[in-house]
Amino acid sequence: MNRKPESLIRPIVRKLHPYTPGEQPKVPGLIKLNTNENPFPPSPHVLEMVRRAVDGRLRLYPNPTADRLREKLAAYHRCKPENIIVGNGSDELLEMAVRAFVEPVAALRHSTNRSKHTKVQKSKALVQFFEPSYSLYPVLAQMHGAIQNPVQLNPDFTMPSVKELRARGRWDFNAALTFVTTPNAPTGRGIPTSALDELCTATRGVVVLDEAYADFATEQALHLALKHSNVVVSRTFSKAYSLCFLRVGYFIGHPTIISALHKIRDSYNVNGLGQIAAEATLEDLDYYRANIRTIIKTRDELARELTDLGFSVIPSVTNFIFTRPPRMHAAKWYEALRDRNILVRWFDQPVVRDYLRITIGTPEQMEQFLRVVRAILARH
């Protein structure tokens, strides 16, 4: 018998709209400002430690719990290794959080024998997040068979206060899992830690503060993960520490929450070279702090220049800016820049389709970017 392969796939997977990552084209001379990668390489020390590890030992499994890295991270963040879990990028941990803390809708049905759920039961199956924020969250919810609760940010992309959220009635303070991207992506806006503290106090389920860009920001919320038992902070070596390729991210939170995640983790989820590179990164932080300062300075200069050219720029505390361009629609700008070998990100989604997200490259790349922008403006 020859079954239709379509029929072998779970309906949930058949219907799934997968996450769309930014393109990784290999065009010579392309200026790549579309995926928030760091324009600077890892430090010479990190490269040396990775090179030294490449020998016959590649046949061995890596440390299953990334012990040395967790100890170093604990010392750096003044907590205990029990507060930390390392992932194959922070994306893996975000996915694990959904599996560990959220009931699939089908499980609810089974437990009640009724197709209508009470509000309390529905909250157990809820993945909640602001819109716009990281576009992976809705995909994770769909994949798990959970319910999504996207809640609009204010029109200027600031976060509504707890009082405003209560008044508007859309926020579920009992949601099993809430993701907050802070600073936010793709908008680049910072969120005051005091506002996050208030939100985490009022929200009773697990709250993941996704701090992928915290190193570029003025405020960090990491201490909230050590203060509230329901709060987890997510960090990554990808963006500020130039390690996208090796996939290392981590969560910090209450030991009970963290150990639940360890239970559902793949035995060897973090590759050995990634562990070594991340450890070496923590031994060389001055190198990265200097790069981060350069990126921040370049970002602020770019924002000023673009504002002078008529772009409307959302204030950024990240390594990218979110901007509404003048004269032509953002989609046209995306094409015009692409034609001139500059790749930025344009999201064809409501609320954000009038904007471009531009990753901060080296000062030289951003000068070239501005030259191209001026040339496009001169023709339109």
By CB under 6 A, name the binding residues for ligand PLP: 36, 89-91, 134, 181, 185, 210, 212, 236, 238-239, 244, 249
Supply the DSSP symbol for 345. Answer: B
CB of residue 93 to ligand PLP, shortest distance in Å: 8
Comparison of 210 and 215: residue with beta carbon closer to ligand PLP: 210
CB of residue 328 to ligand PLP, shortest distance in Å: 27
Tokens 């405003």 identify what position? 164
Residues paired with residue 177 on neighbouring β-strands, in sequence order: 127, 206
Comparison of 343 and 373: residue with beta carbon closer to ligand PLP: 343
Element (H, E) at 150: strand 147-152
Q: How far is CA 271 from CA 87, 88, 156, 282, in A?
A: 9, 7, 40, 17
Identify which of 280, 283, 274 has the alpha carbon closest to the alpha carbon of residue 86. 274
Residue 278 CB neighbour total at 10 angstroms: 25
Identify which of 241, 212, 234, 225 has the alpha carbon closest to the alpha carbon of residue 87. 234
CB of residue 123 to ligand PLP, shortest distance in Å: 24
CB of residue 331 to ligand PLP, shortest distance in Å: 22
Cis-peptide into 132, omega within 30 deg: yes
Comparison of 123 and 181: residue with beta carbon closer to ligand PLP: 181
CB of residue 238 to ligand PLP, shortest distance in Å: 3
CB within 8 Å of 321: residues ≥ 6 apart: 188, 299, 302, 303, 306, 313, 314, 357, 358, 360
CB of residue 185 to ligand PLP, shortest distance in Å: 4
CB of residue 364 to ligand PLP, shortest distance in Å: 24
Comparison of 92 and 103: residue with beta carbon closer to ligand PLP: 92
Comparison of 181 and 281: residue with beta carbon closer to ligand PLP: 181
Comparison of 206 and 212: residue with beta carbon closer to ligand PLP: 212
Comparison of 108 and 314: residue with beta carbon closer to ligand PLP: 314
Comparison of 136 and 257: residue with beta carbon closer to ligand PLP: 136
Task: Give all strands of the β-sheet with 177-181 in edge-to-edge order.
Answer: 84-87, 249-252, 231-236, 206-210, 177-181, 126-131, 147-152
CB of residue 92 to ligand PLP, shortest distance in Å: 7
Tell me the torsion sign for CA atoms 362, 188, 357, 333: negative
Torsion on CA atoms 151, 155, 158, 162, rounded to nearest 10:
-50
CB of residue 247 to ligand PLP, shortest distance in Å: 6
Identify which of 43, 59, 25, 73 has the alpha carbon closest to the alpha carbon of residue 249. 73
Comparison of 66 and 336: residue with beta carbon closer to ligand PLP: 66
Tokens 């559902």 identify what position? 264
CB of residue 112 to ligand PLP, shortest distance in Å: 34
Comparison of 123 and 193: residue with beta carbon closer to ligand PLP: 193
Is residue 140 within 8 Å of residue 171, measured between CB atoms? no
- Whole-number Å distance between alpha carbons of 116 and 126: 15
Task: Name the residue with the smallest CB distance to ligand PLP.
Answer: 89
- H helices present in the chain, as ranges: 11-14, 44-53, 67-77, 90-101, 105-112, 119-124, 136-144, 162-168, 193-202, 222-227, 255-264, 272-282, 285-308, 330-339, 363-379
